[in-house]
């Protein structure tokens, strides 16, 4: 399977049995993650996917696709983050202890009410 981004074609290697793989030039690692966390995209250019997810499953493909969307947003500058803030479309949102202040309410990271989260 392949996809195109900015005129470049990226081949997807989904379903590897190792603890890491390269997908479209992005390193994807399978790691232990806290309960309820399926995946994370990091601006350093790596995606982490919860090791408990079967790499041959539809869940794995869904999490990978979701995190690839975040990685694209990071790469084009639509979103960024630091330990203390999330930056989305030029707006700065405070971040503390796994929660983000959004529209006057502290909500857990990953909440689908955030405009940078995808409702997949």
Q: What is the pLDDT of residues 19-73, one digit of tens each?
A: 778 988 899 999 999 888 999 999 999 999 999 999 999 999 999 999 999 999 9
Q: How many CB atoms lie within 10 A of CB 115?
A: 11
Res 1: pLDDT: 43
Dump pLDDT digits (tens) for 90-101.
Answer: 999 999 999 999
* pTM confidence score: 0.77
Return the structure tokens found at 69: 């969307």
Task: Label the pairing between strands 46-50 and 26-31.
Answer: parallel
The answer on pLDDT for 85 being more than 90 is: yes
Longest dimension (CA), the chain: 43
Dump pLDDT digits (tens) for 35-47.
Answer: 889 999 999 999 9
Final residue of a structural domain among 76, 97, 112: 76
Question: Exposed e or buried b for every residue in 51-90, given b needs 16+ CB within 10 A?
Answer: eebebeeeebbebbebbbebbbbbeeeebebeeebbbbee
Final residue of a structural domain among 76, 95, 110: 76
Q: Are residues 83 and 59 in the same domain?
A: no
Q: Are residues 36 and 92 in the same domain?
A: no
Structural domain for 44, as ranges? 2-76
Q: Are residues 86 and 72 in the same domain?
A: no
Looking at the 3D structure of the chain, how many domains does it have? Answer: 2
Q: Are residues 8 and 46 in the same domain?
A: yes
């Amino acid at each position: 399977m392949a996809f195109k981004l900015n005129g470049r074609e990226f081949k997807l290697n989904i379903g590897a049995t190792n603890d890491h793989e390269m997908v479209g030039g992005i390193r994807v690692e399978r790691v232990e993650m806290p309960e309820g966390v399926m995946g994370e995209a990091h601006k350093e250019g790596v995606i982490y996917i919860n090791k408990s997810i079967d790499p041959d499953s539809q869940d794995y493909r869904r999490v990978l696709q979701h995190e690839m969307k975040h990685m694209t947003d990071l790469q084009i500058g639509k979103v960024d983050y630091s330990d203390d803030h999330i930056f989305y479309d030029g707006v700065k949102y405070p971040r503390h202890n796994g929660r983000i202040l959004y529209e006057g309410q502290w909500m857990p990271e990953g909440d689908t009410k955030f405009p940078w989260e995808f409702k997949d």
